[in-house]
Structure 1
Amino acid sequence: MIRTRRAALAVLLTAEAMNLLDATIVQVAGPAVHADLSGPAADIPWFSAAYTLPFAVFLITGGRLGDIFGRARTFKIGVAGFVLASLACAVAPAAGLLIGARAVQGAVAALVIPQTIGLIRALFDGDDLAKALGSIGPVMGLSAVTGPLLGGLLTHALSWRAAFLVNVPLGLAVLLAARLLREDRAETRPRLDVIGTVLVVAGTGLLGYPLIAGTNWALLPAGAVVLVVFGVQQRRTAAPLVEPSLFTNRGFPAALAGSLLFFAVMTGLMLLVPLRLQLGEGADVRTAALTLLPLSAGLAVSSWFAGAKLVPKFGPRVMFAGLALLVAGILAGADGPALALCGLGMGTFTVPFFTAALHRVRPHETGSAAGLLNAVQQLGGTLGVALLGGLYLGGVTATAVLGVAAGLTVAAALAVIPLSSRLGR
């Protein structure tokens, strides 16, 4: 029985890794994709953003659909759609078709990711549940930093198309093993809040588009207004898309703020480092990808050590040690050994952070909590790319941009203070 549960957990984490890898997998390979498919240079950021924007926009709705129709069923539909969309990306003959396929890929990924927490809760309880939830953070972090590395190496060795084809056998394996999952849904089947869905999709899209495109900045305040209207509407509707009870304490809002800031730094650094190498030092795609290897290795090692040794002994306070290591690595130049230090900090942070953030989420809040946390992660990544990448491409020195990243990391540490009690509340 225990072995079956662990196998089911492996299925869920594999699907999560596969989906999150694709959020960053063409960051290093973007110029090679553009050279092969031609088209305007403005297409390059959209090879990534066409995935992350629909992903962020539909995550909250994806979480609610799992509550309504069953999380295992929604998970399987999402994985099947992801496999088909990945295949379409791999064979795309033109940039516009690739961008369209990436958008579909991101939208169906939003059906997969929010189901993970609920399905883990259906499999485990007690200390085993805490350990299983603690595995989500390392997978999310390691997937995010491994994406550019994998994409760059596959592009150099084979073709950028291979970066999408690897999803096909992985996705099929996940579908075959998904029979291990136990169906799970909200105890009282909620209705889909159509008005809330339209508002959150519109508001998130209006915020995300100008950050990615670097134009139409007037959409930012419009997006903020729409999301304020969404918040008011959620308090008044009988079947809210986001459970209002998540905001009755300081813990979950603190988790959202911390996630936004932390993933802005993580994703922004993963763009800044390859840009600095390729544009500033003339490095090729393989060199740029391999430079991120110390960061990935540091994150993998520290995630395991934090989960096995540090968090059981010291609890959520380990988060601050992780952020201190990250700041130290950034200020040391985020290059070579300093990148390994950044990775150690990221892994040391993610395990206690996600454990504390999700510790007391109740069953009926699971879909909303998962959708919100993942949506904020993607928006944070978009913010990091827009801010750190935009500053560097706009002529700001790499040293100054790294100073901004260090400041955002300090802000993340302040944001997660309410999570620092042992119960994360």
Structure 2
Amino acid sequence: MSGTVAGATDERTTRLLRVGGGPAQTEGLPGPAAAPARAGPPDEGRRDAPRLTVAPSRASARCWDAFAQTCDASFWSSRGGARMWQFKLHARFRLRFFDLILTMPTGERCKIGQCAVGLGPRLRVIADGLALRPEYADLWPVAMESLLGHLGPGRYVYGSFWSTEVPRHRAILRLPHTRVVAVRRLVVEAIDLKRAERWSDFLGRVSRNVVRNARGFQQAHADRRFLVSYGAGCLTLLPKVIRLRRRMYDRKRIAFSQTRAIVSYVLRSLLLRRYVSMWVTVAGRRVLASAGTVAFGESVSFLDGASAPTPAGAGWDVLLHAIEDAHRSGRTRFQLGYTDVTDEFDGRAWVSPIRYRRDCRARAIETSLFAFDFAIEGAGDRNVPPVLLERTDPCWTGEAQT
């Protein structure tokens, strides 16, 4: 491929042979080791070809987040979320934001996508992935190749835990000079919410035991009330939530780092303050259950929850109220979590290894988180980030677990 570069340190332009009607074709980008060429006179036969440009973004945080939501990206694609995601992979980085601009032969310019990239000494982390407007999804290969040509050789990480983007670890191999070094195949487990559906009809879709337990709790504890906080206000509920979670994990004999949890809550409440909420159920002076969520675009993501051992049903009660709030606000997905799957998973049938997600009739949305090398020889001292080697517990084995 041979393309053009305009202002090599600022933006990169690639000429497209066509747009729409299947995967986009492009004129080739220069090889990664080649010196970028300044844009020259186009060939006569390609003078009218559209051009895709990768350029530094000047969007405000609000405009950036609004665009990411129209692309159905996860909350990791927000300005604050992109910074949080970087901390999971490397401590030292410079975060850069890029726009993907399509210029038509008429001169009309249209932003079709964006991405945030953390540039570190060993890694280049593309937070969440490329956020492309749905009607331009077929341009992912040329957009990705243009971005790599702009950033240059290195080890990259693509994807995230909550992304609903289709898996890209195979598609990346169709680009020149790429080599995948580690992959986590994941599914995001989500409940579909229908705007026209009555809440009573939704309850008819989940397990009867779920509804019975929640209603039993409500009838036995008519004095129960919800404490709900948003944004930085969630920190006011932090002592109650941490204490409840610590006791729950102690009962289950599961390791729990209180310090790590507090840091995570503080970062979430500050960097995702426009989108986070915290629900806590209290009855009298007792704290009975909690749920933490992030609402971004079409989705609400259930990040964590906890409940006391008694009375039964408190956890279901707060979770159903969080789902009902998402339904009432017009969201179309309530995401319960993510799960690692093996290479045997074919996407055709899903049985969650986690019982409460099965009871909610959650479906699986396949995605992937992976590391790859672009235009470098050998691995050298470039280690695989630990997050690529971890696995959810439990993970999918093809059989249901309790």
Larger of the two Rg values belongs to structure: 2
Alignment TM-score, normalising by the size of structure 2: 0.24
Alignment TM-score, normalising by the size of structure 1: 0.23
* Higher RCO by CA contacts (8 Å cutoff, separation 6 or greater): 1
Which structure: greater helix fraction? 1
Which structure: greater strand fraction? 2
